[in-house]
Amino acid sequence: MTFLELAETLEQTGAESVPPYRVEQIFSWISRGALSFDRMTDLPQAWRRELAGRFSIRGSRVSGRLDDPDGTSKLRFTLTDGAVIEAVLLASEKTGPDREPGRSYTACLSTQAGCPVGCVFCKTGSLGFLRNLDTFELTDQFLALSDLVRERNGGSCRISHIVVMGMGEPLLNLAALRKALAILCDPRGFGFSKRRITISTSGIRAGILELAEQGPEAELALSLTTAREDLRRRLMPGAGENSLEDLKEALKIYQEKTGRRITLEAVLLGGINTGAGDARALAAFAKGLKAAVNLIPWNPVPGLSFGGEKIREPPAAETGRFRRLLEQEGIQVTGRYRRGRGISGACGQLAGS
């Protein structure tokens, strides 16, 4: 529930009117990780009993956890209907201008159980699509990852960034995502900063336009993968309906409305989308947009193939050459983490295993 929904619900169910500071107390307790109403020691006993009888805090059960020596942890959640999803906690490196001293963390959240887009290089895509996640199933992921941070660092550390880059296509579940982010950004709760949230999409044109009009405010990353139309259609079957021309036009509208830079993500598939022609096409797509390109060498997923051949990770030399070709075209390029590989917690490896 958002703060307003919580206030209205308490108002409707309670016999007497609920003072706003009570709503704030409950909202704040939940944000600070309280798992039961019993813990809310500044509420009257009778209230706590009554609330416990009526409501539940968190509906998703953490049913598994894996820790990678590189600092990444992955949680598996078993949802009320038995669906299984995963969320990842990444230890941020102390680089970049907005990193605060000490370790901070990035939460990577899932928005769907499975994914309907069906990218051939992605483990989640190979699972098929089960359903959209509910708002509470999104906030539950964040809360459980926050528990993990508290457990590790005794309260001295926090999650500083959210990336909506886990399982599923966020722009196909935009209403639930919008509400979850509104809850997380509410200053009466977590007060999470909007500037530190990134949504990654496979490129849903209608969703990008809706984002421009109605938010949620966040950084946007587009998983371009390749700027060769025919190849993109084969690699990302469910995203291919949005032609590259339409997509670019939507991104331009988004940029005009929001003034934001965007990131173009390209997962590099050895020998498939890493040639000189691919680099030229990518650079041409990026031109005219305020965009940087983020290269992600493919994280291995056993059993995935394309055109009858096993997909393979590009060797470092192949990635390096591709990067230089883009830079020669004047494109700003960044490289992406491979962290979490030891626990199948890196990009494209999430399945709920």
- Kindly give, in sequence order, each residue whose CB lies less than 8 Å from that of residue 246, ignoring residues fewer than 6 positions away: 205
Task: Compute the distance between CA of residue 193 and CA of residue 308 in angstroms, rounded to an integer.
Answer: 45
Cα-based distances in Å from 24 to 30, 97, 138, 141, 245: 10, 33, 21, 22, 47
DSSP at 96 = S
**Helix 20-31 × helix 3-13 angle, to 10°:** 120
Our answer to whether residue 122 is catalytic in this structure is: no
Q: CB 238 → ligand SF4: shortest distance, Å?
A: 7
Among 169, 219, 265, 278, binds ligand SF4 (CB under 6 A): 169
Among 168, 207, 314, 340, binds ligand SF4 (CB under 6 A): 168
Our answer to whether residue 229 is catalytic in this structure is: no
Cα-based distances in Å from 87 to 75, 112, 241, 328: 5, 11, 28, 37
Closer to ligand SAH at the Cβ: 122 or 127? Answer: 122
User: Using CA of residue 124, residue 130, residue 134, residue 137, what is the dihedral sign?
Assistant: negative
Is there binding between residue 73 and ligand SF4 (CB under 6 A)? Answer: no
Closer to ligand SF4 at the Cβ: 267 or 281? Answer: 267
Q: CB 9 → ligand SF4: shortest distance, Å?
A: 33
Residue 97's CB is within 10 A of a number of other CB atoms, namely 4
Closer to ligand SF4 at the Cβ: 88 or 119? Answer: 119
Is there binding between residue 296 and ligand SAH (CB under 6 A)? Answer: yes
Closer to ligand SF4 at the Cβ: 121 or 285? Answer: 121
Which of 108, 119, 122, 347 is an active site residue?
347
Among 40, 165, 174, 326, binds ligand SAH (CB under 6 A): 165
Is there binding between residue 88 and ligand SF4 (CB under 6 A)? Answer: no
Is there binding between residue 274 and ligand SAH (CB under 6 A)? Answer: no
Q: CB 22 → ligand SAH: shortest distance, Å?
A: 38
- Kindly give, in sequence order, each residue whose CB lies less than 8 Å from that of residue 67, ignoring residues fewer than 6 positions away: 73, 343
The SS3 call for residue 342 is helix
DSSP run (H or E) holding 232: helix 229-235
Task: Compute the distance between CA of residue 86 and CA of residue 345 in angstroms, rounded to an integer.
Answer: 9
Is there binding between residue 117 and ligand SF4 (CB under 6 A)? Answer: yes
Instruction: Report whether 34 contacts 111 (CB < 8 A).
Output: no
Please give the residue whose beta carbon sits closest to ligand SAH in the complex: 348
User: Using CA of residue 295, residue 319, residue 235, residue 339, what is the dihedral sign?
Assistant: negative
Q: CB 256 → ligand SF4: shortest distance, Å?
A: 25
Q: CB 155 → ligand SF4: shortest distance, Å?
A: 33
Which of 50, 86, 169, 309 is an active site residue?
86
Is there binding between residue 254 and ligand SAH (CB under 6 A)? Answer: no
User: By the criterion CB under 6 A, which residues form the site for ligand SAH?
Assistant: 121-122, 165, 169, 200-202, 223, 225, 265, 267, 296, 298-299, 301, 347-348
Task: Give the active site residues.
Answer: 86, 347
User: By the criterion CB under 6 A, which residues form the site for ligand SF4?
Assistant: 115, 117-119, 122, 124-125, 167-169, 202, 223, 236, 348
